[in-house]
Amino acid sequence: MICVRSARHMEHRKFADFYKAYLDKIYRYVFFRVGCKRETAEDITSDIFIKALANFESYDPTRGAGWIFTIARNTVINFWRDKYGREIAIEEIEDKEMFSSNGIRALEAFDDKRQLMEALSVLPKEKRELVTKKYIDGYSYADLAEMYKKEAGALKVAAHRALKEVKARLKHTADRI
Amino acid sequence: MFVRLKFRQLRKMAAPRPEFRHALWTRLTREMETMPNVLQSRRMTGRILRVLRYAAVPVVVLVLAMGTGAYAYVNPEITYEHPLYQVKHAVEQVEGAFVLTPRARARFETKMMARRVLELETIVSRGKSDGRASDEIARAHEQAISAAAEVKSEAVRDAVIARIEENADRHVKVLEAIEARAPEEAEKTLEQVIERQEQVLERRLEHVDALREEQVARQLERIEKLEALRDQAFAAKEAREEAIENEEIEAGEGDPPPLSSPFPKGGGSEGGGSVTRESPGLSPDSPSRPLPDSVPAAHE
């Protein structure tokens, strides 16, 4: 009996650690893909963690953040599919909600953040995606390496170079002002 | 202009509200209670572990009494690969347990960081290098920064941070020496170091109210320096791989293929060469692949 209880206690703690590790990342992931609307982000994040809890048995910690981010991505896609009444890809959602003029306008109150998103929006798509995943969504290089099927070292160099481009574009904007 | 700092601020802006964090956890805990596979928490395991932890204290005291601990404690030659390193570590923990005030804690943690840097210097002087010693330095660095941020007196805090910076710069110098000696070996170490140094940066940013802006910025500069060093090492590795590839192509052109095989050496892989290297171009398949199910299987 004690063994069973201890095992369950371990599960409870495991989920608590999982929650602590991923809540911020998942919330942020959702927040930027629902037009920076807090209430919507909170509702969707809740759904994501309820689904994660219900399926926690299938979670393999050695596989990193991919599992929970896949749930998050599919939940966001479902949200927009219900809204638009058609199938929609995550890239289209990101283009519309994060990097379009509407998405950037959602950050109007935070001027330097808006500039940052503007600088990011004009980067080539592949670089933009990498920087977004690393520096906004908070994926680790290990997760990215698995996702892109590339060496972490190559991704780090690519991210570093993309970041330099963002920096140059921000500087260019600042000089113009 | 620090782009990373801006990204960090952007992430902070998009953080969940504490009320939401708490409310969701309460809801999840309720869900856990109703689920058959998750029960309410039991404290037995925790209690046993706590008792075992206290039992470790007399063991450490005994080792101290034997004098071995004292020897290990003062000797910078005792690095993590030495059998007495655990003893040294235990003695330091005992010392740390008696540090009570924030000022003493800051000094203690800074001293620990200096010790770790000294150990890395010893390791490198033996012609070795790996990420573990740097991991220890980063951990000590994080703790020292957190402790310094708690110090009320600005003068003392600045003095402590000056020492932390001095040790952090010494760490970078050692890494530069490793990179100069063996750039290809250093690449992996540098990657690990950068990852840990980003955690140090996060720690500094957490204490941004207590620290001055330039004290946070120093860490950003340090990371950029390490990244440049890593890029240098990466370029050296690429150049070497390219040279090997060229050599193999030349050798392939010079020698006729064996009669039994119509393919050149390394045949079977696309492109014919035995050295294949993925380009850093990006084309992940998973994000672009629409997934119909909400929950992925574990073996995916």
Question: What is the average pLDDT across B93-115?
Answer: 86
Highest mean pLDDT among A3-12, B151-160, B191-200: B151-160
For range B144-168, the mean pLDDT: 89
Nearest to B277 by CA among A151, A164, A132: A151
Contact residues on chain A for B39, CB-CB shorter than 8 A = 5, 8-9, 12
**pLDDT for the residue numbered B84:** 80
Average pLDDT over residues B224-253: 77
The Cα A128–Cα A117 span in angstroms is: 10
Q: Sign (positive/negative) of CA torsion A69, A89, A130, B220? A: negative
Instruction: Please choose, from the candidates A33, A128, A177, A124, the residue with its C-alpha nearest in 3D space to the C-alpha of residue B1.
Output: A177
**d(Cα B263, Cα A107) in Å, to the nearest integer?**
59
How many residues comprise chain B? 300
Q: Give the pLDDT of residue A76.
A: 93
Q: Which among B20, B50, B103 is positioned nearest to A31, based on CA atoms? A: B20
Which stretches of chain A score pLDDT less than 70? 1-10, 101-112, 176-177
Which position has the higher pLDDT, A3 or B77?
A: B77
Interchain proximity B290–A38, CB inside 8 Å? no
Taking only the tens place, the pLDDT of each residue in B1-55 is 567 777 877 887 888 998 999 999 999 988 887 765 543 443 444 554 555 555 5
Q: What pLDDT does residue B287 have? A: 40
> How high is the pLDDT of residue B67?
65
Eight-class DSSP state of A63: G
Q: Which of A19, A43, A70, A136 to mutate to test the interface with B (most CBs of B within 10 A)?
A: A70
CB-nearest to B191 from A67, A129, A156 is A156
Instruction: Kindly tell me if the per-residue pLDDT of B92 is higher than 50.
Output: yes
pLDDT at B254 (0 to 100): 56
Across the interface, of B11, B42, B295, the residue whose CB is closest to A9 is: B42
Residue to mutate among B42, B189, B197, B293, with most A CBs inside 10 A, is B42
Nearest-CA residue of chain A relative to B2?
A167
Please answer yes or no on whether B7 and A58 come within 8 Å at the CB atom. Answer: no
Alpha-carbon span B209 to B201, nearest angstrom: 14
Contact A70 B41 (CB under 8 A): no
Q: Is the pLDDT of residue B218 over 80?
A: yes
A158 contact residues in B (CB cutoff 8 A) = 280, 282
Q: Do B24 and A23 touch (CB under 8 A)?
A: yes
Distance of CA B217 to the CA centre of its chain: 19
How many helices (H) and strands (E) would you count in chain A? Answer: 9, 0
Q: Do B298 and A58 touch (CB under 8 A)?
A: yes
Q: Do A149 and B284 touch (CB under 8 A)?
A: yes
| Residue B272: predicted pLDDT | 37
CA distances from B225 to B47, B169, B222, B229, B235 (A): 46, 11, 5, 6, 15
**Model pLDDT, residue A47:** 94
